[in-house]
Chain A
Amino acid sequence: MFRYIVRRLLQGVLTFFGATFIVYALMFANQDDPLQALAGERPVTPAVRQYLTDYYHLNDPFLKQYGYYMKGLLTGDLGQSIGRNRPIKDLLMDAWPITLKLSIIAIIFAALLGVTAGVVAGIRRAGVFDYVTLLIALFLISLPFIVLAPMAQYLFGVELKIFPVTTGGNPSLYKLLLPGMALGTVALAVTLRLTRTSVTENLRADYVRTARAKGLSRQRIIGVHVLRNSLIPIITYLGVSLGDLMAGAIITEGVFNIPGVGFNLFQGIRTEDGPRVVGFVSVLVIIFIITNLVVDILYAVLDPRIRYE
């Protein structure tokens, strides 16, 4: 187990350096006029040019620049946002808790509803419930998220008026409910299908027959034996789904006006605020790598067969 963790940690570190390098290289390498690229379509005055050149060490060789960037990244100094004129780190600190709340709502929504519906569909395989939920799940997964989020906002916010339409600054948990559920919808559909398949497979497993021969009740067989085995792929998926969640958050926060990480990214793109985009994307990549690592370790905890490799 220990060796497994160490191995994964090393892999994670490697990926970390690799990914940040790629992000950095994509943004800054071989630019004819890197300053213009940073500033986007804004004109750059000589004074600003000088400042930016010094700040970003643009007269240094590329690798050295990367070094400064990494140093900044690791010490938390992400530079200055051009559009908002604040340190990017501060923007991140403000935005972070909001997106966290949003994501947690999304995951809990997806997990609870998805697992429950999936278990029921799995038990009643080929029943009406099964077919209907599978169809709905496929529909939700395939539907472009840029349709789902605005339509959810329109239907539940504007038309039915159940939830507030936008959230504005420092939103309460209640205001984040609708966007959170919209964000979690795809994860919900995938979780449902995963759970259903997993449960169906496990119900056919030999150990279920043994459990019945032991005289265990149906509730125990499904609730303890089958579920424990079925949950392994589900939990690992939910961990991995964070990547999709991040992408979805960009759109969700844009549509619902939530000042989170995604919204900042969205704005940064719109206002051509290069440093902000790079900074936020880098941090998101790091989080992504860390969650993948945690999920891998979690997988070993859940499935004893992996531990002893």
Chain B
Amino acid sequence: MSSSQMEPVATSVAVPAPTVEEVERPGVATGKPRSLFSDAMHDLRHNPIFWVALVLSLLVIVMAAFPSLFTPNNPADCQLNRQHAGPNGWAIFGYNFQGCDIFARSVYGARISVEVGFLSIAVLGTIALLIGVTGGYFGGWADAVLSRITEIVLGVPYLLAGIVLAKRLSAGQSSGIWTVVFVIGVLSWTTACRVVRSSVITAKNQDYVAAARMLGAGHARIMLRHILPNALAPFVVVLTIALGTAISTEATLTFLGIGIKPSGDGSTISWGLDISGAVPHVRESATPLIVPSVFLSVTVLSFIMLGDAIRDAFDPKLR
């Protein structure tokens, strides 16, 4: 009889309850069973896309935090007599329609995108966590109500709702970051919420939760110690992907004119603004369109690919 069929469940306080299923690789005569976690880390380490995405993501974050490391030029320094001029020193891509340094603008543009991105996922993550854990853990009519709400928000066409909401919130004054963050956060939490909810439900039904409850643990303790660690991994995955999507949405809303609105002195810099400004002049010069587009795409794609790679590595169905 194969003795490794039953693994003892760790119940000591120091080691948290098993957060992943212990799965044996079928058919291979190895001595010790390999866990899903170690399988996943192994796959991840050997996945080139993971590394590329990770490096690029970190690069973008650094660029957002310390733009002056990448260019000494001032992105707001625009002189019309340099309109569509060619490369010059650090302005490696030349100048755009208004005579601004394309490269510098793209470098500094990372800041707003990354800021909006992280703030948005903070908002949407919080909402998703609250609703997902409440609905998943307590079930019953609370879950029913919250699920209906989720469906309604899910049913609304995203951009249309974003337009109406943003319009309503900005109503004339110059739109700050928080409007955009609010719009994105309030409309995008549904996917993350579903993921949280299903993890919570799965975790809730595990034996060790019943055991904890029998030992007298209260709801809060169970949720914190046993449920959350299980829900964490898929939640992180979905948040990473949501980060990429949020950055893309910010750029889109800004492109349409309802996101970050430019302040008069040119100090507001966003890839969305640069792209929308470059489109009407694409016949004169394509560089002002291409450069911010590439920056935006690489940023969005790295976060999405990163999340995807982690998810694929942890998906037991793909074994």
Contacts and interface: CB of A to CB of B under 8 A. Distances in A.
Given A142-B304, A144-B297, A26 B155 contact: no
B118 interface: no
B157 A285 contact: yes
A150 B252 contact: no
A154 B286 contact: yes
A254 interface: yes
Interface residues of A, number: 46
B156 interface: yes
B157 A284 contact: yes
A16 to B, nearest CB: 12
B256 A250 contact: yes
A247 B258 contact: no
A281 B163 contact: yes
Contacts of A19: 156
For the complex of A and B, list the 3 residue pairs with the smallest distance between their C-beta atoms, beginning with the closest: A247-B159, A144-B248, A243-B157
A147 interface: yes
A144 B300 contact: yes
A255 B279 contact: yes
A237 interface: no
A290 B254 CA distance: 30
Interface in B300-315: 300-301, 304-305, 308
A270 B255 CA distance: 11
B91 to A, nearest CB: 21
B63 interface: no
- Per DSSP, chain B at the interface is helix
B160 interface: yes
Interface stretch (B15-23, B68-76, B167-175, B228-236): B167-175
B182 to A, nearest CB: 13
Interface in A156-178: 158-159, 165
A269 B171 CA distance: 11
Contact of B163 (A146, A265, A272): A265
A153 interface: yes
Contact of B257 (A139, A246, A269): A269
Contacts of A147: 275, 293, 296-297
B244 interface: yes
Interface in B155-192: 155-160, 163-165, 167-168, 171-172
Interface string A220-257: 00000000000000000000000110110011001100
